[in-house]
Amino acid sequence: MSTEYQAIGNPPAGSIRFNTDSSKMEIYNGEQWWEIDATSPELQTGGTRGLVGSNYPVSNDIDFMNLDTTGNATDFGNLSVSRYGVSSSSSRTRGIFLGGETPSVSDVIDFVTIASQGDATDFGNISYNGHYSTSWSDGVRLVKAGGEAPSPAYTINSAEYITIASTGDAQDFGDLTEKRRRAMAIGSPTRMLICGGDSSPATKDTIDFFTFSTQGNAADFGNLSEGKHTGGGSSNAVTGFVSDPTDYDRITIATLGNGVSIADLSSARTSFASMSSRTRAVFAGGYSPSSPNPVTNIIDYQQFTSGGNFIDFGDLSTTFRNTSGLSNGHGGLG
Identify whether the C-beta of residue 114 lies closer than 8 Å to the C-beta of residue 95.
yes
What is the spatial distance between Cα 162 and Cα 127, in angstroms, rounded to a whole number?
11
What is the spatial distance between Cα 251 and Cα 263, in angstroms, rounded to a whole number?
13
DSSP string, 122-187: EEEE-SS--BS-EEEE-SSEEEEE--BSSSGGGB--EEEEEETTS----EEEEE-SS--BS-EEEE
Peptide bond into 12 cis (omega under 30): no
DSSP string, 259-319: -EEEEE-SS--BS-EEEE-SSEEEEE--B-TTSSS-B--EEEEEETT--S--EEEEE-SS-
Specify the DSSP element, H or E, that contains 12. Answer: none
What is the spatial distance between Cα 28 and Cα 30, in angstroms, rounded to a whole number?
6
Residues 175-211 pLDDT 10s: 999 999 999 999 999 999 999 999 878 899 999 999 9
Pairing of strands 158-163, 191-199: unpaired
What is the spatial distance between Cα 164 and Cα 40, in angstroms, rounded to a whole number?
17
Closest CA to 67 of 49, 92, 83: 49
Residues 267-319 pLDDT 10s: 889 999 999 999 999 999 999 887 777 999 999 999 999 888 999 999 999 99
What is the spatial distance between Cα 42 and Cα 270, in angstroms, rounded to a whole number?
31
Residues 232-273 pLDDT 10s: 999 999 999 999 888 899 999 999 999 999 999 888 899 999
Total residue count of the chain as it appears in this document: 334
Residues 27-84 pLDDT 10s: 776 666 766 666 788 888 989 999 999 999 999 999 999 999 999 999 999 999 999 9
pTM of the model: 0.89
Residues 89-106 pLDDT 10s: 999 999 999 999 998 889
What is the spatial distance between Cα 43 and Cα 63, in angstroms, rounded to a whole number?
20
What is the spatial distance between Cα 167 and Cα 164, in angstroms, rounded to a whole number?
7
What is the spatial distance between Cα 254 and Cα 163, in angstroms, rounded to a whole number?
24
**φ, ψ for residue 126 (rounded to 5)?**
-85, 165
